[in-house]
Amino acid sequence: MPLARRALLTVLAAGSAGAAVGCTSAGAAPTDDAPGKESAGVSAARSAARRLLPRHWEQITFRTEGVRDTFRVSGGKGRITVSGDTPATQLTGLNWYLRHVAYADINWAGEQTNQLPGDLPGLDGTVTRRANVPHRFALNDTNDGYTGAYLDWAYWEHELDVLALHGYNEILVYTGADALYHRLFQEFGYQDEELRAWIPGPAHQPWWLLQNCSGFPHPVSRQLLDARAALGRRIVDRVRELGMTPVLPGYFGTVPPGFAQRNQGARTIPQGDWMGLARPDWLDPRTDQFARVAEAFYRVQSEMFGGPSTLYKMDLLHEGGDPGDVPVAEAAKGVERALRKSRPSATWVIIGWQRNPPRALVDAVDKRYMLVVDGLSDRFPTVTDREADWGDTPYAFGSIWNFGGHTALGANTSDWAALYEKWRTKDGSKLHGVALMPEAADNNPAAFALFSELAWRTGELDLKKWFAEWAHARYGARDPHAEAAWDVLRRTAYGTTRADRWSEPSDGLFGARPALNAVRAARWSPKQLRYDAADFEPALTELLKVRPELRKSSAYRRDLLDVARQALSNRSRVLLPDLKKAYDAGDDARFGELADTWLSLMDLLDRLLATDSQHLLGRWVADARSWGASAEEREQLAYDNLSLLTVWGTRAGADAGLRDYANREWAGLVGGLYRLRWSTYFTELKAALREGREPKKTDWFALEDRWVRDPGPLATRPTGDTYELATQVRDRLTALP
């Protein structure tokens, strides 16, 4: 049975038992039910612990008690008690215990629990921690695309457990919104087939929900919409069951083509194109028709997802949207009015990005019911006073350390340490939350752990001490080489700062469209490394020296792969200028030697990446195909998913710079498309040197799109040993001049 159908049947059988369990908004939490009867909250926390710690969960007792956002941990050897107001808060307490007492790490990129003793260690006394902000928001609007639009319930179940474990209480959920819009607009004169042609494939849907595009690359099927609705409902139910709040999409005016012609009195503003793709029209929020659509939207959403939420994500006129003759302030009032009518106490969540939200918008609405999740807190040095920027609108300190799912290591942790507590505690501060918003999840595990901790600690953050403690918990015991490796990483990849106007690390040049003067793979990424490559490489040597008994966890293997991959990728920036110098000098022998070296490094990188299942392009493609009900649909979904990482969309979009936006160093991609491009390029340059002519131009989009449509066999299971391949990387880099 296809995965999508299994997901649908499973969720229908599961029902919505968890839908009524919500996040308490203030004051004391409810206590456990009568003796002998386990409360729903305790049951949810206990079930999560059983999934996360199958050998130790029975040694942990959970209690639902205490004030909001506060956990307490106590107990002796083999008898740990964790209390909190919600299951998520209780799990946050469990995570604190694991990190600081038991020295284990459960992360979204590798974990280490194998060093835990049979009996969990006890504590001296009771530890109490309270969150310093009420909003702990997680996931970017782009997450469903760049992390994986075709991930199944097994993935989401673990991801939600991990987010709860790390202290988050507000989770953005977009899965199933396609089915919501499909059902909604059948009430306004549209037929099933035309709506399915308007809705993009799942990988591209985040940008449709942001009103950037529609109808690409193929119409979606009814069975796919049903399966995604079922998965979305299951995600929302589990979020509620864990005591977190689902942040659902709100209605701000997106309509299918021809809406005004089919609905008397409607007024729409065309939005033109975005990167060669048609943007959906915008329904004027000041009108009665907008109010009618919004009321239906929230009604249908509640029916499909088990009731209302208290948080709705909406961004008006995202990245170039055209208001026409509609004043932004009046549009904002119309959107707020419709939200308030259907959800009187709900909060409008909006991203802080570029010029968003404009001051006219936040000044027009009731700021008590708006939250800005800031995507630029750690990026531009000019971002210093968000109270002034947004007129005292509450906001969450946010980080986007990753764009498009790039695999590069790094984050501006020094800025987190310098800014978060300073901004939070200043007079008149409106910093009321944190916002975890890398464009793709499941990367940079140290950044994930550190950023998540900001909301649960106070006082000065000593990064040298933090990274040493991180190495201890990450591998399960103290090791001088592990600590030395992470100190190198602290000073290099994780020691960057917003002073250079960036929040993300540089991507590698192996993934760039070939050019001898290439400086980045994605058009909007940093042009150069944000640290010295030579200073980074000792981290690989130190990690390889970690003692053997600490190398058995997926956490160690993931870190070793990441560091080896990064060290190898960084050399692309050293080698390419040498290639250019040889070519410009007409030295065909030297150029050929360097070109062979370049391709051999790509081959080594591909073999290294193939040792880890999370770095296999074949897995990404297989995930998409598994949701198809026919051979044709499976191929369409594979193209939807694979095109996002490569050409992204149309030729016009690729020419505008969108292609390779989501470049990443994965096995099958490095050894497939990326190697094909560079080998094609080098072959032509060698011929041009021999024949004394200018090189012929290559139609790169045609080559790329052809490969995406037929990439050939792609491995879906890892091969090789990460430690062995990382050792080869170290030896090869040492041998290079």
pLDDT at 204 over 70: yes
Residue 46: the pLDDT is 98
Rounded to an integer, the average pLDDT of 661-684 is 98
pLDDT at site 33: 41
pLDDT at 12 over 70: no
Q: For residue range 283-295, what is the model confidence (pLDDT) as tens digits?
A: 999 999 999 999 9
pLDDT for the residue 18: 33
For residue 56, what pLDDT band results from cuts at 50, 70 and 90? Answer: very high
Provide the CB-side half-sphere exposure for 243 (13 A, CA): 28
549-573: average pLDDT:
98
- Dihedral pair phi/psi, residue 441, rounded to 5°: -85, -175
Domains of the chain with bracketed CATH: 30-64+69-130 (3.30.379.10), 135-440+450-455 (3.20.20.80), 498-735 (1.20.120.670)
User: How much is the pLDDT for 563?
Assistant: 98
Average pLDDT value for residue range 689-717: 97
| Residue 697 identity (one-letter amino acid) | K
Compute the average pLDDT of residues 100-107. Answer: 98
Residue 476, pLDDT > 90, answer yes
d(CA 247, CA 343): 13
Would you state the pLDDT for residue 320?
85
What is the structure's pLDDT at 21?
29
pTM over 0.85: yes
> Got the DSSP string for 55-89?
TTGGGEEEEE-SBTTEEEEEEETTEEEEEESSHHH
Give the separation between CA 584 and CA 362, rounded to whole angstroms. Answer: 55
What is the model's pLDDT at position 574? 96
% residues pLDDT > 90 (the chain): 93
Residue 723 has pLDDT above 80, yes or no: yes
pLDDT for res 208: 98
Q: Quick one: pLDDT at residue 477?
A: 98
Mean pLDDT for the chain overall: 94
Residue holding tokens 């410009």? 584
Half-sphere exposure of 80 (CA within 13 A, CB side): 28
**What's residue 636's pLDDT?**
98
Q: What's residue 573's pLDDT?
A: 97
What is the arithmetic mean of pLDDT over 583-594? 98
Please give the pLDDT value at position 37: 61
Taking CA atoms, 613 is separated from 108, 554, 666, 718, 722, in Å, by 14, 11, 10, 5, 11
Per-residue pLDDT at 4: 42
| Rounded-to-integer distance, Cα 90 and Cα 41, Å | 9
Residues 287-333: pLDDT tens digits? 999 999 999 999 999 999 999 999 999 999 888 899 999 999 999 99
pLDDT tens for each residue of 131-188: 999 999 999 999 999 999 999 999 999 999 999 999 999 999 999 999 999 999 999 9
Within 10 angstroms of residue 56's Cβ, the number of other Cβ atoms is 21
Task: Kindly give, in sequence order, each residue whose CB lies less than 8 Å from that of residue 558, ignoring residues fewer than 6 positions away.
Answer: 109, 110, 445, 612, 614
Tell me the C-alpha distance between 594 and 105, whole Å.
42
Query: In this predicted structure, what is the pLDDT of residue 733?
Result: 98
> Mean pLDDT, to the nearest integer, of 499-517?
97
- Residue 3 in this model has a pLDDT that exceeds 50: no
